[in-house]
Structure 1
Amino acid sequence: MKRSLGLASVLLLFMVAPCLAGFFDDLVREVLPSPTQQDSLDNSTIVKGLKEALATGTERAVTEVAKPDGYFGNQLIKILLPDKIQQAADILGRIGYQQQVDDVVLSMNRAAEKAAPKAASFFGDAIRQMTLEDAQGILQGGDTAATRFFENKTRPQLFAAFKPAVARSMDQLGTARAYKEMIGKYDVSPLASLAGIPSLDLDTYVTDKALDGLFIKVGEEEKKIRTNPAARTTDLLRKVFGK
């Protein structure tokens, strides 16, 4: 029991931020155990504590990617053109159309940033529905066990919710129009490849890349509390990790 208690305490504030906002406030109040319970954690309280930690971590990840330049300003998750289309974009850049290429890339990332807040409710549902078995798998898993849990539980639903939002944003931003104009310029370029440009479903492509980036950020938040002493900002974390 002591070993289980130690693991639960380590993960209790896994990915904890100083404060919560919006949607996640209610979720955290719902699942956070009271201070008097923390000294005698049973399985039920372990699950509650882990849910609180996951709620905080996912809130931080969603907030990070949803802000301006959340995708565009982060080279790890910035959405770029597919390789074969990037080859055409490179040619266009060399003959004076770099601004058009840049506009397409920027608008794809802006669409992902606008869609990102939709992830909050799906993460919340996955957390509320977490079972003891799920919690044990996360406690006993590796550095990204929680991230894998979220991706397995929510990715199909997130894709269905993100894609219409991405499509609307790209329509408002003129992404499809800018992309077609970019490809049109390539088609008439004297440097254009005889092989032509592969077709691309922009809505699907940007949605998939947006979700890839979101889960990368969730994974970063998960690893931070597990491995970085500077992230252990509460008395409980200092007590657990101080030795």
Structure 2
Amino acid sequence: MIKRLMVLSMILVGTTAVYSQGLGGLLNKAKNVLEGGGLSNDEIGMGLKEALNVGTGEAVDFLSDEDGFYKSVYKITLPSEAQQIVSKVSKLPGFGDFETKLVERMNRAAELAVSKAKPIFVSAIKGLTFKDVTDILMGEKDAATRYLQRTTQEQLYAEFQPIIGSALDEVNARSLWKEAVTAYNQIPLVKKTNPNLDDHVTNKSLDGVFGLIEKKEEGIRTDVDQRSSDLLKKVFSKQDK
């Protein structure tokens, strides 16, 4: 979504050409857009907000669908500190497919939690000021994504973590993990451990959300066919010139 803001910004500013002109050219282009160019301040702001809404909405819809995480590049794997447990426990009776089961359940938990992200993104986008818009337009290539992360990540983490915990319980991931950790800690001479699944799955869920939003934004900025409304086409066409 954020990247969609960037898309708008780059579009309005004249993405590729602007960067080749350096900072001075970027600022001049942005100034021209904000002062006229057939687009009002309201249209520019509305275009950025629509790009963000489209990007975040599509990202959340995709990742919250079944296999959105589990069978995509955003698949969540076990934390590195859990690998020692897996390597030991998988040799014990009844734990042969432990890793496969746990990884699937972790991803199911993420898919359940991500659906709760939409209202948080919508609120952040509504709060976008014209100063935010100009900062994004005249900022770095990833300014839009950085804006969304800066304004939503803390709240998303606070919202996601308890949902992830409940979702892990709902798909029985915690009980499976508890069985494995208990079995591992009973092995003679091993150092007792119990990595936190909730924190790991929450952080990886957020990584997936922002990673996909970034790709969605890039699509709007570079692919005319992904500009799904007249407003997006009008605003982002400035980037193509």
- TM-score normalised over the length of structure 2: 0.74
Correspondent of 1:152 among 147, 150, 153 = 150
The 5-angstrom pairing of residues 13-52 of structure 1 reads 40-52=38-50
Distance 1:11 1:39, change over 3 A: closer
Contact 1:111–1:170 (CA<8 Å) still a contact in 2? yes
- Residue 27 of structure 1 aligns with which residue? none
Contact 2:85–2:180 (CA<8 Å) still a contact in 1? no
**Distance in 2 (alpha carbons) for counterparts of 1:234 and 1:52:** 9
Correspondent of 1:200 among 195, 203, 216 = 195
Matched residues, number: 208
- SS at 1:142 equivalent: coil
Return the offset for 1:69.
0.9
Return the offset for 1:67.
0.6
Correspondent of 2:213 among 194, 198, 218 = 218
Distance 1:189 1:195, change over 3 A: closer
**Distance in 2 (alpha carbons) for counterparts of 1:39 and 1:241:** 12
1:92 aligns to 2:89 (yes or no): yes
Contact 2:59–2:216 (CA<8 Å) still a contact in 1? yes
**Distance in 1 (alpha carbons) for counterparts of 2:97 and 2:12:** 47
Counterpart of 2:191 in structure 1: which amino acid?
Answer: A
Correspondent of 2:52 among 44, 51, 54 = 54
- TM-score normalised over the length of structure 1: 0.74
Alignment gaps of 5+ in structure 1: 1-6, 13-37
**Distance in 2 (alpha carbons) for counterparts of 1:239 and 1:202:** 45
Stretch deviating more after TM superposition (218-227 or 151-160): 218-227
Overall identity of the aligned pairs, in %: 35
**Distance in 1 (alpha carbons) for counterparts of 2:229 and 2:213:** 21
The 5-angstrom pairing of residues 109-128 of structure 1 reads 109-128=107-126
**Deviations, residues 134-161 of structure 1 (Å, cap 9, x unaligned):** 1112222334322211111011111121
Return the offset for 1:98.
3.5
Contact 1:122–1:158 (CA<8 Å) still a contact in 2? yes
CA RMSD of aligned residues (A): 2.9
Distance 1:98 1:231, change over 3 A: farther
Contact 1:107–1:175 (CA<8 Å) still a contact in 2? yes
- Residue 132 of structure 2 aligns with which residue? 134
1:81 aligns to 2:78 (yes or no): yes
**Deviations, residues 49-94 of structure 1 (Å, cap 9, x unaligned):** 111111111111111111111111123x211111121232134335
**Distance in 2 (alpha carbons) for counterparts of 1:168 and 1:47:** 38
Distance 1:11 1:126, change over 3 A: farther
Contact 1:143–1:223 (CA<8 Å) still a contact in 2? no
1:187 aligns to 2:182 (yes or no): no
Correspondent of 2:204 among 190, 203, 209 = 209
Return the structure number with greater relative CO, CA threshold 8 A, min gap 6: 2
Alignment gaps of 5+ in structure 2: 1-7, 14-35
- Residue 33 of structure 2 aligns with which residue? none
Return the offset for 1:203.
2.0
